[in-house]
Amino acid sequence: MTDDVETAIRRIRDEVAALHAELVRYGLVVWTGGNVSGRVPGADLFVIKPSGVPYDALTADDMILCDLDGRVIAETPGAHRSPSSDTAAHAYVYRNMPHVGGVVHTHSTYATAWAARAEPIPCVLTAMADEFGGDIPVGPFAIIGDDSIGHGIVETLTGHRSRAVLMRNHGPFTIGSDARDAVKAAVMVEDVARTVHLARQLGDPHPIEPAAIDALFDRYQHVYGQPTDKEP
């Protein structure tokens, strides 16, 4: 590996390890469930958490380096551990969605409740239009452990503006330009899942017109925030 790739691996290890604490901070996971991964820029590699290790025990050296087929890279920090049970799914997403730099999975309560109902979250909030560009779709049921979940994620999100998918009877998966962006999407999908659920207890939420969704999404993606937040 080149020095640049080695430097990138160390940076992604640090970032992915730290981002797991954000899942805990926002109440998106319990016990050892859930995972964050991050693509290594400039290499066909990604970093993911080990399976079944408590969040408060995770360090950068525990993060596992894999190739895009989900194989653990031997003789690297973390290689003695078993990777997340969702590793094959993450690998499939990275192979088939080259613009994706981060993948997150949680069992956050409200988003998972929508997944259990196999029901998309309708776009009835400006925050949803901003962040997801419309409804949050439902993906197919898939068995954990191989790349079946990855197939469902890619098939559901290809051509869709949403960065979140509710895998049926399982929970949310989110994608992003990098791992931090994917974690942000995970936080936001739980927030809107909760709010829309509460709105439905009061009556039927009013949908937002498609043209307004388009305008809101365009503004948020291209105008909102500081210039330094945007890609060059």
pLDDT tens for the chain, 232 residues long, are 899 999 999 999 999 999 999 999 999 999 999 999 999 999 999 999 999 999 999 999 999 999 999 999 999 999 999 999 999 999 999 999 999 999 999 999 999 999 999 999 999 999 999 999 999 999 999 999 999 999 999 999 999 999 999 999 999 999 999 999 999 999 999 999 999 999 999 999 999 999 999 999 999 999 998 876 554 4
pLDDT of residue 226: 87
pLDDT of residue 230: 52
Task: Round to whole Å and give the CA distance between 201 and 219.
Answer: 30
- Distances from the Cα of 210 to the Cα of 61, 64, 80, 159, 207, angstroms: 46, 42, 50, 16, 9
pLDDT of residue 232: 41
Q: Which domains does the chain have, with CATH numbers?
A: 3-226 (3.40.225.10)
Task: Round to whole Å and give the CA distance between 3 and 8.
Answer: 9
User: Which residues, 6+ apart, have CB-to-CB distance to 50 below 8 Å?
Assistant: 58, 62, 63, 64, 78, 81, 82, 83, 84
What is the pTM for the complete model shown? 0.96
